[in-house]
Structure 1
Amino acid sequence: MPEVLKAPLTVEFPFTRSLGPVQSAFLTGLRERVVLGVRTRDGRTLVPPVEYDPVTAEEIRDLVQVAATGTVTTWAWNHAPRRGQPLGAPFAWALIRLDGADTALLHAVDAPGPDAVHTGMRVRVRWAEERTGAITDIACFEPYDGDDPAEPAGHSGEFSNFENFEDPVTGIVAPARLDYTYSPGRAQSAYISALSEHRNVGERCPTCRKVYVPPRGACPTCGVATLEQVEVGPRGTVTTFCIVNIKAAHTANLDIDVPYVYAHIALDGADLALHGRIGGIPYDQVRMGLRVEPVWTEGARFPDHYRPTGEADADYDTYRELL
């Protein structure tokens, strides 16, 4: 039984979105140290504000200013903050109902320890020194006893000065990142281990007899476990392909000139096409049926690209079921 592999994996990308009038007002207000909610027809004040009443689905745009102070309604202690979280030291995640609001806002509470946090605790906003029009303009919340006149508690009421804000926030770029440990499992661990020896190993379904590369541990058609290993390739046939005209972020540091071609390649003996880059041929000469073979670079676990073998093109009937 081959060793099951594990590796750290990070998925990261910037998420860019435009803002409607309500979210634009909310984030612009935070930049100006003003917390805005939105009032529903039945008098509820929602913070953070939304554009549609979650109960009636009515459009709502009646902006209301609420206080920068509030009450913790529930909380959980974060013993080990992660990268990008509001505070570097342990803190509490809390739902905080600001004075004048009927719903709770999720944010961080800076407290010396879990014993210092409780439901019903009074807190106030600690504003970020530099504010850009984002939820991070609230650096965190901190305990508040109401006795510090240097930091006004704020007030609630109608708000009509949003139009006077200069340069309203109309869009945000939010970084999205997920760090986790990935284990490919028994079947794909065997596949990856074989690739380190420049071999392609798939698994055959005991029912339909199809060979899947990369193997999945079970037949996607029959739903039964696959255990019989089958070595395929190394040569194969281009079934479909696309021409890439824009250099993507993940290829920015690679020695790949655009345009280039990515293709689905049916390795000899496999019943599932895998994808790979086609090289050694002008991009406009790549075609369906082209016979290719892998090109390995020193120390690489996967083929760098596939190049033409010089054989005659495969007949369409030999790969049409793999399109």
Structure 2
Amino acid sequence: MATAPSAPLRAPLTVEFPFTRSLGPVQSAFLTGLRHRTVLGVRAADGQVLVPPTEYDPRTAEEVRDLVEVAPTGTVTTWAWNPAPRRFQPLDTPFAWVLVKLDGAGTALLHALDADGPEQVRTGMRVRIRWAEERTGAITDIACFEPYEDPDGDGSAQDHVPAPHPGRFADMVTLLTVPARLDYTYSPGRAPTDYLTALADHRTVGERCPSCRKVYVPPRGACPTCGVATDEQVEVGPHGTVTTFCIVNIKARNLDIEVPYVYAHIALDGADLALHGRIAGIPYDQVRMGLRVTPVWAGDGRYPDHYRPTGEPDADYDAYKELI
């Protein structure tokens, strides 16, 4: 039977997937140069110097390797004011996002400009790089740009003369870690809210499709097969059957679990869709399809920390083959 709707839940959620990539000769030289307070571009087939440099000519698609040093001064080509900086942005006070064509470059570089207010920023203004005190070989070695007045006052003077890259760097940067991250507030909706609320009481609930009669866990509010709304709540488990599993041999950051360990798809009794969970309480090389398991709840009791064997005989393959 249908139950009264629960109050929607809301919680901050972070999706983070930092990854490390290797660098080609051009990007390696560019980032190594930044560590040494030097900006390098690459000369394209038409003679234009690209900053930031690319590995391939954007017009001919041919490899480009002719590195050229450009000046740390330049001209703002366009800008937008940022009145409320967010976490991990270059500055923690209001600033302008600017595209800057460095002297000697033919393309513009995106970065932050430290200015007192939008009235202090304009297209065509002269700026220069403010270098970070500690540099690691990343775009953040440029702390930001700052306004710069040419000694001659006509926008033509430079305090740095570009020269061909001398190839003097011995400590080349060869790897780059990209901190991909998304922070947002998640509201799970009616069906997932009921599911999460039940977990707090050490219960697992799904919803039955009124058409095909299958019970889906976690519930989605609609049958993924028939496309019709679901609202008949069904309690399942707590025991279940391992349908498939994998052995994890790489230790994840911020996860205090010794490797190797096992993650499995588990078909809870009464459910027609397997959910996933960690298997513990048994050597990793003894986990198998058909193993009967039961949840062990986390210290705060809000969700199963892992599943352990029940000691029952293994389930017959025919009992779970449709759930693999």
Aligned with 2:48 (options 14, 38, 44): 44
Q: What does 1:227-306 align with in structure 2 at a 5 Å threshold?
A: 227-252=231-256, 256-306=257-307
- For 1:190, give the aligned amino acid: D
Contact 1:196/1:300, CA 8 A, preserved across alignment: yes
Q: Residue deviations 1:108-154, cap 9 Å, x none?
A: 101001111122221111122232322122111111120299x9532
CA distance in 2, matches of 1:251, 1:132: 27
CA distance in 2, matches of 1:273, 1:44: 57
Give the SS at the match of 1:30. helix
Structure 1 residues 250 and 220, CA gap change in structure 2 (3 angstroms)? farther
Contact 2:69/2:165, CA 8 A, preserved across alignment: no
Deviation at 1:38, TM superposition (A): 1.1
Q: Residue deviations 1:11-66, cap 9 Å, x none?
A: 33543222111111111222222211111111222110001122221111111222
Aligned with 2:179 (options 170, 175, 179): 175
Give the SS at the match of 1:24. helix
Aligned with 1:195 (options 196, 199, 212): 199
Could you tell me which runs of 5 or more consecutive residues in structure 1 were left unpaired when the two chains were aligned: none
* RMSD between superposed Cα atoms in Å: 2.2
CA distance in 2, matches of 1:56, 1:221: 49
CA distance in 1, matches of 2:138, 2:270: 54
CA distance in 1, matches of 2:224, 2:289: 25
Structure-2 residue corresponding to 1:84: 88
Aligned with 1:161 (options 157, 166, 180): 166
Residue 11 (structure 2) pairs with residue 7 (structure 1): yes
Structure-2 residue corresponding to 1:205: 209
CA distance in 2, matches of 1:258, 1:36: 43
- For 1:71, give the aligned amino acid: T
Q: What does 1:83-162 align with in structure 2 at a 5 Å threshold?
A: 83-147=87-151, 153-157=159-163, 159-162=164-167
Give the SS at the match of 1:289. coil
TM-score for both structures, normalised by structure 2: 0.90
CA distance in 2, matches of 1:271, 1:13: 31
Structure-2 residue corresponding to 1:310: 311
Give the SS at the match of 2:105. coil
Give the SS at the match of 1:249. coil
- For 1:26, give the aligned amino acid: F
Structure-2 residue corresponding to 1:28: 32
Give the SS at the match of 2:32. helix
Could you tell me which runs of 5 or more consecutive residues in structure 2 were left unpaired when the two chains were aligned: none
Structure 1 residues 66 and 245, CA gap change in structure 2 (3 angstroms)? closer
CA distance in 2, matches of 1:58, 1:9: 43
Aligned with 2:75 (options 59, 68, 71): 71
Deviation at 1:105, TM superposition (A): 0.5
Deviation at 1:302, TM superposition (A): 0.8
- For 1:171, give the aligned amino acid: L
Identity %: 75
Contact 2:42/2:66, CA 8 A, preserved across alignment: yes
Q: Residue deviations 1:248-306, cap 9 Å, x none?
A: 33432xxx554432221101111110112223333333221122222225531112222
TM-score for both structures, normalised by structure 1: 0.90
CA distance in 2, matches of 1:298, 1:137: 43
CA distance in 2, matches of 1:145, 1:322: 70
Q: Residue deviations 1:215-274, cap 9 Å, x none?
A: 12232233333222222111111111223344433432xxx5544322211011111101
Contact 1:124/1:153, CA 8 A, preserved across alignment: no
Segments ≥4 residues shifted beyond 6 Å: none
